[in-house]
Amino acid sequence: MTLAPNVYDAEPIPEAARAEIDRMLQNGDLFRYTAEESPVALLEKEFAEVLGTKYALAVASCSAALFLSLRALDLPRGAKVLIPAFTFAAVPSSVVHADCVPVLVDVKDNYRIDIADFEAKLDGADAVLISHMRGHTSDMDAIMALAEARGLPVIEDAAHSLGTKWNGRNIGTLGRIGCFSFQSYKLLNAGEGGILVTDDANLVARAVIMSGAYEHNWKKHKHDADLLAAFARWQNQLPLYNTRLNNLSAAIIRPQLNEIPRRVQDGRRNHDYVAAQLNASAWLTVPDPLGPEERAPDSIQFNLVGFDDAETLAFQDAAARRGVKVQVFGMSDDNARAFWNWQFLGEVPELPQTRAMLSRACDARLPARLRRAELDFVAQALTSAAEDVKGEALAYGT
């Protein structure tokens, strides 16, 4: 019998990281600016190559990357930034941190931005921050066209979307800036860390300086003529927020870059395998990806169909008894992905559509390393838990 899989452990760090870490433990060379070809600088170069962008800046977290992106855009104090109402609390927090005001946009029951509500809220907005929550891509064709028509910059929060494609293009490279996370639950794991990518020399020069490239440390970033001119423009003009990445983190990430294609492929295969089983239940539904989207999931989200609040909580308990932990985003007092818990914003709007989604949307981890028997265990536990609550399985269509 297969036991409940451990879905929380990350994959081991590739052996190749060890020699580099040993070297650093010997010479104590942990600060990115002691040398030009530091592990952090090499990570930036390699990550930009993987994504196909001109520039990358590695920092302490994706949240720091989002904050620096907003500051790099030089938005006025109080600028309105559209964000989806389904995201992680760190996203509105980064907006507040940048002295801007988040405007929450409704999200549909497929976890993606409601484009009609997005369009309605564009008037008066100064920037757009699209969070591809749990790697679900909103309609980027519509979003980019609407934002570009108004000259609004788009930042992509691709923290959980590394390896996702939209019309064959890498997520995180569609907007002016894309931000990724190296926190342990993301595709590349350094415990903590983040990186931003862009083709815009002016933006990255501002972000580099503000990340903590004091004095002339910007010279230790890979640079071209455009970037040199931009650095000269911003020298001594910007605050230093000191939110750099350290060399140890970079050394842990670099050997994982080769693993991206395998993790993406296995994650998608696992997700689609479990999704097919959940969709065969009358009580569970996994929304389809959008047409241009090629996903890179490491977890699965699905909606409960025809459950009230009590049944939803009962489902969560039943799944836990069967060995699979499920979170329903909107059914606890402190979930950081439920917008009404972002009380640091002061007033949060009523968004009944997003609230209804969050109250029935379930989330279960599904790491790329799981094997077939473990996936069957998860799928079986979830479909049986729904039956525990709702009675015998309904045959589909009856």
Ligand X SMILES: *Cc1c(COP(=O)(O)O)cnc(C)c1O
| Residue window 25-64: x/- pattern of binding to ligand X, with contact defined by CB under 6 A | ------------------------------------xxx-
Q: Could you confirm whether 186 is annotated as catalytic?
A: yes
Q: How far is the CB of 183 from ligand X (least distance, A)?
A: 4
Q: How far is the CB of 86 from ligand X (least distance, A)?
A: 10
CA max distance for the chain = 71
By CB under 6 A, residue 202 contacts ligand X: no
By CB under 6 A, residue 183 contacts ligand X: yes
Which residues 147-176 are close enough to bind ligand X by CB under 6 A?
157, 159-160
Nearer to ligand X, 315 or 339 (CB): 339
CA distance readout (Å), 38 to 34, 41, 206, 251, 254: 8, 5, 21, 9, 12
Nearer to ligand X, 86 or 302 (CB): 86
| Residue window 114-153: x/- pattern of binding to ligand X, with contact defined by CB under 6 A | -----------------x-x--------------------
Q: How far is the CB of 110 from ligand X (least distance, A)?
A: 16
Tokens 């809220």 correspond to: 121
Segment interacting with ligand X, rule: CB under 6 A, options 26-34, 85-93, 99-107, 234-242: 85-93
By residue count, the chain amounts to 398
Q: Two tokens at 150? A: 């108004």
Q: Which of 194, 267, 287, 297 binds ligand X (CB under 6 A)?
A: 194
By CB under 6 A, residue 112 contacts ligand X: no
Nearer to ligand X, 61 or 256 (CB): 61
Buried b (16+ CB within 10 A) or exposed e, 330-368: bbeeebebbbbbbeebeebeebeebbebbbbbbbbbbbb
Q: Which of 33, 67, 86, 88 binds ligand X (CB under 6 A)?
A: 88
| Total residues interacting with ligand X, rule: CB under 6 A | 15
Helix 352-360 with 309-321: angle, nearest 10 deg: 30
By CB under 6 A, residue 181 contacts ligand X: yes
By CB under 6 A, residue 284 contacts ligand X: no
Q: 54, 121, 186, 219: which one is catalytic?
A: 186
Rounded Cα distance between 113 and 138, Å, is 6
By CB under 6 A, residue 298 contacts ligand X: no
Rounded Cα distance between 71 and 129, Å, is 13
Nearer to ligand X, 134 or 390 (CB): 134
Taking the alpha carbons of 93, 177, 196, 194 in that order, is the dihedral positive or negative?
positive
Q: Which residues are catalytic?
A: 186
Q: Which positions lie near ligand X, rule CB under 6 A?
A: 61-63, 87-88, 90-91, 131, 133, 157, 159-160, 181, 183, 194
